[in-house]
Amino acid sequence: MRRSTIVLLAVAAFIVGAAAALAVFPAARERVLPDAVRNVGAAAIGGPFTLVDQTGRTVTEKDFHGRVMLVYFGFTNCPDVCPAALQVMDAARERLGAQANRVASVFVTVDPERDTPAVLSDYLTSFPGTIGLTGSVEAVRQAAAAYRVYFKKSKDDGSSASYTVDHTSIIYLMGPDGRFISHFTHASSVDSIAAKLATLL
Ligand code: NI
C-alpha cells in the first residue's frame, strides 16, 4: 500500500474506534444500576460497615443481625428519587403492623459532608421509622463499596457552591443473617415489598 493509503486507513480506524467508544460509554453508564445486582452476585452484596446514626450513635452491620433490613443509599438533598424510595420502604414496613419492628429500614447517605447526624435527624422526621446513617467520607465510601453502590458528586448545574450526587437507586433486602436476599427500586410497589417482607417474618 502507498504510505498515504496507510495514513488514511489509520485515521479511519481511529475515527471508527472513537465513535464506538463514545457510543458504548453512555450505555455502559446506564447499565451500572442493574449490573450491580446481576453481575456481582448475591453473596458479594453487603458486608461490614461502621457508621453513625442520626442520634450520633456508632452503628455497625452487626446491630442489624436478627432483623430483616431494607437498606437504601441516597442523600437528603435528592429532589425526588430518594424520597420515593424512603416512602415505599416506610409504607411497606408499616403494612406489617405489629411485626414492623422486626424490619430495619435504613437510609445511608452518600453525601456525608452535608448529611450530618443532625441533618439526617431533621430529614427523617418525614420517615419516622427510618434509621439514618452517615460517617466520614471514607466510612461511607466503604459501606457503599460493600453494597456495590455507585455514587459521584455532580456539579453540572454550573454552580460551584451547590452540587448534586448521582447514585445507584436500589433498595436492598438483607436477611436476619446479614445476607442479601433480593432488591427493589424506588419505583417498586409497596405491595410487592410488603409481600416479600411478610415471607421472611
Ligand atoms: Ni437520590
Query: What pLDDT does 44 receive?
Result: 86
Q: Which amino acid makes up residue 188?
A: S
Strand partners, 105: 70, 130
Ligand 1: centre distance to CA 124 (Å):
14
Per-residue model confidence as pLDDT tens digits over 64-108: 999 999 999 999 999 889 999 999 999 999 999 999 999 999 999
Per-residue model confidence as pLDDT tens digits over 35-69: 555 555 656 899 999 999 999 999 999 999 999 99
Query: What pLDDT does 30 receive?
Result: 33
CB atoms near residue 100 (< 10 Å): 16
Ligand 1: centre distance to CA 162 (Å):
15
Judged against a pLDDT cut of 60, whether residue 1 lies above it is answered with no
Ligand 1: centre distance to CA 86 (Å):
10
Q: For residue 171, give every residue at least 6 positions away whose Cβ sits within 8 Å of its Cβ, in sequence order, or none.
A: 70, 71, 72, 85, 88, 89, 183, 184, 185, 186, 188, 193
Short-list 177, 158, 147, 197, CA closest to 33: 147
Ligand 1: centre distance to CA 167 (Å):
6
Question: Residues 104, 89: contact at Cβ < 8 Å?
Answer: no
Question: Residues 49, 144: contact at Cβ < 8 Å?
Answer: no
Helix, coil or strand: residue 51 = strand
